[in-house]
Amino acid sequence: MNWHEIVGYLASALVVMSLAMRSVVRLRTVSLAGAIVFVVYGVLIGALPIILANAAVALINVWHLRKELTSASPVSAVPIDTDAPFVRDFLTANALEITNSQPDYHPSVRDTFCRLLTRDGLPAGVLIGEPSGRELEVKLDYVTPAYRDSQIARWLFNEGKATFTAAGFTRLVAHAHTTVHRNYLEMMGFRSEGGAFVLDL
């Protein structure tokens, strides 16, 4: 096997690997890497069809990644009842993932604040909380793996904070029971206070 073939096999491996990614962003990133390596392979063996096809694939991946990693793609938080059939089905379908990231979440009749998080009009996650005056205790903040690397959370707690302020809240409170969740809250701007994490709106 010569080194030209090694480059070709590497490109093939990256493309196959991309198909196993659950996250849209990771899929596009690995697919982009595979396309670039395929372009290099095409140049090495002098195959113009391989170069052109994979250059096009690389440009398409760049376009989609830019869309995913910026606010150019529409994100919204749609009011919905916590006991709506869709919410129940969504929580059931993602129960294992929710348990792994936020094991302390258990549905409660006090959880009256619910927003369906969407990306490009498609369901991407859900936020459920328990109101207490002008404070909202965030009980569940979950986004499906396909959209987890997108900018949904950053939008929600920054440009999209009107989701909370329009409902009269001035502060969010969350409790983290896993390292992953704790790191996520800190990344979103929550600060530790009295055993909880808070974010002033």
Give me the mean pLDDT over the 62-89 stretch.
84
The C-alpha atoms of residue 136 and residue 201 are separated, in whole angstroms, by 11
CATH, domain 75-200, list 3.40.50.12660, 3.40.630.30, 3.40.605.10, 3.60.15.10: 3.40.630.30
Q: 117-167: per-residue pLDDT in tens?
A: 998 888 999 999 999 999 999 999 999 988 876 678 888 998 899 999 999
pLDDT band at residue 107 using 50, 70 and 90 as cut-offs: confident
Residue percentage of the chain with pLDDT more than 90: 55
**Residue-level pLDDT at 38:** 93
- Using the predicted structure, report yes or no on whether residue 91 has a pLDDT greater than 90: yes
**Residue-level pLDDT at 73:** 61
Domain boundaries, given as residue ranges, for the chain: 3-68, 75-200
Mark out the alpha helices in the chain (DSSP H runs). 3-18, 24-45, 48-68, 85-93, 95-101, 152-156, 162-165, 179-187
What mean pLDDT, rounded, does the chain reach?
A: 89
**Residue-level pLDDT at 72:** 54
